[in-house]
Structure 1
Amino acid sequence: MKNILLPLLIAIVVISCKPNKNEDIAEVFLPKTDHQLRQVPKAIITPSIDGNIDDPAWEKATWQPLDQNWLGDSYSNEDFSGRYKLTWTPEALYLIAEIKDDVLYDKNEDPLTLWWDDDCLEIFIDADNSGGGHQFNHNAFAYHVAMNGNVVDLAPGEIPTLYNSHVNSSRKTNGTTTIWECEIFIYEDTYIDHTANETKILAPNQKLGFALAYCDNDTSPERENFIGSVPVEGEDKNRGWIDAGIFGTIQLIEKR
C-alpha cells in the first residue's frame, strides 16, 4: 500500500504547487507607499486632445521630468529628453508629454507583436494606489501608446490586447520634438475584458498609482532604452509592467 500511495502523494503536491498561468509568477510584493507623491490640480478647462502644448488648459500645470533610465545604456540629451504634465476632470486623467527623440522608429506593423520595441509612450495606472502584482491581471494597467494611437496591454491569460477605448491620444511631431496628449479613462481592478465596464469617477483627494515611461529605439532589433518617471531601487529597474508598487502616487486636488 505504501508503494502505491507515495507516488500519488508526490503527484498531488506537484500539481498543487504548479503556478496558474493567469497569475503573476510567484513573487513577494512589498506594500505600496506614497513615494514621489505629487498633487495634480483639477482642470479649469478640459484639454482638447489635439497635441497643442499651448492649450490654456495646461497653463497652470507643472512640468515633471521623465529622466530615469530603467533599461539600456546611458544616453545623451540629443538622443532623448522628456517631461510631462497632468490634470484631471471627474471623467478622466489628462497627460501631455514633450518628448525630444532624434529618431522615431515604428518597427512592427502588427500592434500586438513586440510592441515594446517600437518608440511608444507607456502610461502606468493603479486606480486604487494599492500596489502589488499586475503582470497578467488588471490590478493595474500598463498602457503602451503607439505612434499611431493603438493602446496595448496584457490581459489575463498573457493575451496581448488592444485597449484603444481606454486612452484617447494625439501626437504631433516638429523636427525632433513630439507632443503626446492623452485622455486616460480610469478603471478599477474589477475590470473584466470584453464586457461593459464603468469608468472610475475621479474626485478631490483621491490617490492613484501613476508612472510614465518612454520606449526609445533608434532602429535596433530591440528597444535601446526605457526611460521612466520614477526612481526604482535595485538592479532590475524594468519592473513597472510587473509590480505596481514601483509606481509613484498622484493625489487629485481641486486647485493649487
Structure 2
Amino acid sequence: MKKITFFLSLIILISCKNQEHNNSDKTIADSKEQTVIPQKGKKDHQVRDIKKAEIAPNVDGDMNDPIWNQTKWYPMDQNWIGEFPDIKDFFGRYKMTWTPEALYILVEIKDDILYDQYKDPLKLWWDDDCVEIFIDADNSGGEHQYNNNAFAYHVALDGNVVDLDAEKKPLLYNNHIKMKRTTKDDVSVWEFELTVYDDTYQEGKANDPVVLSNNQKLGFAIAYNDNDTSKERENFMGSVFVPGEDKNQGWINADIFGTITLVE
C-alpha cells in the first residue's frame, strides 16, 4: 500500500513539473510576441505650431496680407557654412502659414549684394544667392540625397527651383514652388507657395500633392546661400541647429529638419 501511495505521489509531482515547464514556455513566447522593437527614425526637435490661413496670401512679395500680421517671425541664424556674417552683410528671418493646398512662406533677407553668376539654372546653383527650402512630408527623417523621401529646393533669384533627382542629376521643380521677390535697397522679401509632395513622387509621372490638414506634422528647415561675388558661396545660414562639425547636412539627411505642426 505504501508503494502504491509513493508511486501515485511521484506521478502527480512529475505532472505538476511538466505543467510548470509548459506554462513557463508559454509565458516566454507571449513575452516575445508583445515585445516592441524600437524603430530608428527622426526625433522631433525645434517643434513649432504653424497657423492656418483662412484666406491664402497673395504671392506678390508683399507683407501686407492679413495672415502675415498674425504670425511670428523665426530666425535664420544658424551658421552652416563659412564665417558668421556681419549683420550689415546678412540678416534673415521667415514666417509660415498653410491651407489644405499649400504651405506659404514669407522670408525677409538683408543682403547688400545679390549675386547670380551662373545663368544656367542647373550649373553650380548652390553658389549663387538663393533660398533653400527643405520639406519632409511625413516627418519621417532619413536619407534623401538622391530620392524623394524629402526635398531640398534651391530657389534662385530668378525663381528657378532646383533639386537632385534619382539619377543624381539636377532637375527643375518650378511647378512645386511659386515665388515672388521684391527688393528695396539691401532688403529682399521672398514669398513662396509650396505644393507638398511625399515619397511616392516620381519624376515625369502624374503625382497627387499632399492635402494638408490640422495636426499634421512635417519636417521643415530653411536656409540662405549668400555669395558676394566669390567663386563659391561664402555663407550658408540655416534655421535649425545642426550638431557636429559638418553642418551642411540638410541636402542629405532629413533628420536635421525641424518639425512643424499645422494647427487651425
Give the TM-score taking structure 2 as reference length. 0.84
| Paired residue total | 225
The structure with the greater share of residues assigned to helix is: 2
What residue identity is the alignment partner of 2:58? S
What residue identity is the alignment partner of 1:67? D
Separation in 2, partners of 1:204, 1:56: 20
Partner of 2:246: 236
Matched, 1:87 2:97: yes
Separation in 1, partners of 2:134, 2:203: 18
Give 1 or 2 for the bigger CA radius of gyration. Answer: 2
Counterpart of 1:251 (choices 236, 257, 261) is: 261
Structure 2 alignment gaps of length 5 or more: 1-39
Partner of 1:194: 204
Output one character per residue of 1:143-176: Cα deviation in whole Å (capped at 9) or x when no partner. Answer: 0000100000000010100000000000000000
> What SS does the aligned partner of 1:245 have?
helix
Output one character per residue of 1:207-240: Cα deviation in whole Å (capped at 9) or x when no partner. Answer: 0000000000000000000000000000000000
Separation in 1, partners of 2:150, 2:86: 32
Matched, 1:105 2:105: no
Matched, 1:174 2:184: yes
Cα deviation for residue 185 of structure 1 reads 0.3
Separation in 2, partners of 1:146, 1:53: 20
Separation in 1, partners of 2:191, 2:253: 25
Q: CA RMSD in A?
A: 0.7
Q: Higher mean Cα deviation, 111-120 or 50-59?
A: 50-59
What residue identity is the alignment partner of 1:203? S
Partner of 1:158: 168
Separation in 1, partners of 2:76, 2:83: 16
What residue identity is the alignment partner of 1:111? P
What residue identity is the alignment partner of 1:89? T
> What SS does the aligned partner of 1:116 have?
helix
Cα deviation for residue 33 of structure 1 reads 1.1
Cα deviation for residue 53 of structure 1 reads 1.1
> What SS does the aligned partner of 1:69 have?
strand
> What SS does the aligned partner of 2:229 have?
coil
Matched, 1:218 2:232: no
- Report runs of 4+ in structure 1 exceeding 4 Å deviation: none
Instruction: Determine what percentage of the aligned residue pairs are the same residue.
Output: 61
Output one character per residue of 1:95-137: Cα deviation in whole Å (capped at 9) or x when no partner. Answer: 0000000110001000000000000000000000000000000
Give the TM-score taking structure 1 as reference length. 0.87
Partner of 2:141: 131
Separation in 2, partners of 1:135, 1:65: 25
What residue identity is the alignment partner of 2:127? D
Partner of 1:73: 83
Cα deviation for residue 184 of structure 1 reads 0.2
What residue identity is the alignment partner of 1:191? Y
Cα deviation for residue 31 of structure 1 reads 2.2
